[in-house]
Amino acid sequence: MEFSDRPVWRTRAWFGAAIASALVLLGLSFMGVGGDPRTVWLPLAVAAGVVSAVLGSTLLRVRRERREHEDRLTEWAAERAAQAERLRIARELHDLASHGLGLITVRAAAAGRVSGARAEEERSSALRDIERAGRQATTELRRMLSVLRSADQAPAPLRPGETLEDLATIVEGARTAGLDVEARMGAGSGLGEISAGVQLTICAIVREGLANTARHAGPTAASVEVRRSDDGSGPGAEVTVRVRDRGPAPAWEPQPGTGLGLAGLRERVTALGGSLSAGRVEGDGGYLLAAILPDGGRP
């Protein structure tokens, strides 16, 4: 929906005012050129009646068209808000499917590759991990469905935003699923003061990178690196996030993806003024997801 620079009701209001002014000036000029004071009241009365009619009609039209204009603007704003909410829900559904279900697939595949004396123990451990991951995914799905069903009721409580403290949990979940993850990152104090929005985006990048590794490369080796370009004491800092794998595991069949995950990450990173790159690494067949996020330590 588009809107012109000047609503129609404003243009017509000016037009009505111009007509009224012209009629008044006409009456005054008639008096000024020697009209008989005893008879000049008739054209002035006619002019006053016309002016009143024009002003009344214009006022009603202005109010009606202004109300229509405001209704269109309200409808447009509601459509934009609904579109933004649909995109947010699509991102969360993608994260739920690609991360939770992807790690379940990798955990099952990794357990199936174990043979010998440890095979039975590994399969039992894998079943426990798969059950736990499935329960978590089911809980998240129910939470999202609850939000969708309560659209006309009070807003559902939001989850707390993830912070750097959650990175260890994200990495450990990937390890449990069968990825051999090497993590090189500092704790919250080691990276300095990082704003909440950047912390949330860092967690999203690491989760998406490991989920993509699990889906496309299977139980392989991967590395996660989060570092800062300065000492964290002032503006101008940049946080670099890198998630890299060493290529697909032997005989692994990559799972198809939708591309929504990288698209959503790129939107988040761009909104923060950063950059995101993703692609194959020459030489070892691995895949690298890297982002640079500007952050001056502001909350």
Query: CA 273 from chain center: how many Å?
Result: 14
Mean pLDDT of 98-110: 73
Q: How far is CA 198 from the centre of its chain?
A: 14
What pTM, to 2 d.p., does this model score? 0.58
- The percent of residues in the chain predicted with pLDDT above 90, rounded, is 12
The topology under which CATH files domain 161-299 is Heat Shock Protein 90 (3.30.565)
Residue 223 has pLDDT above 70, yes or no: yes
Question: What's the mean pLDDT when you consider all of the chain?
Answer: 74
Domain assignments of the chain as residue spans, ordered by start: 8-76, 161-299
Q: Would you call 271 helix, strand, or coil by DSSP?
A: helix
- The pLDDT score that the predictor gives to residue 77 is 72
- Sheet of strand 180-185: strand arrangement: 180-185, 221-228, 238-245, 287-294, 275-280
User: What pLDDT shows up at residue 26?
Assistant: 59
The string of pLDDT tens digits covering residues 277-296 is 999 988 778 899 999 998 75
* Residue with the two structure tokens 């009646």: 49
81-106 b/e with 16+ CB inside 10 Å = b? eeeeeeeeeebbebbbbbbbbbbbbb
50-97 pLDDT, tens digit each: 667 767 777 888 888 888 877 777 777 777 766 666 666 666 666 666
Residue 212: Cβ-neighbour burial (10 angstroms; 0-12, 13-18, 19+): buried
Max Cα-Cα span within the chain:
123
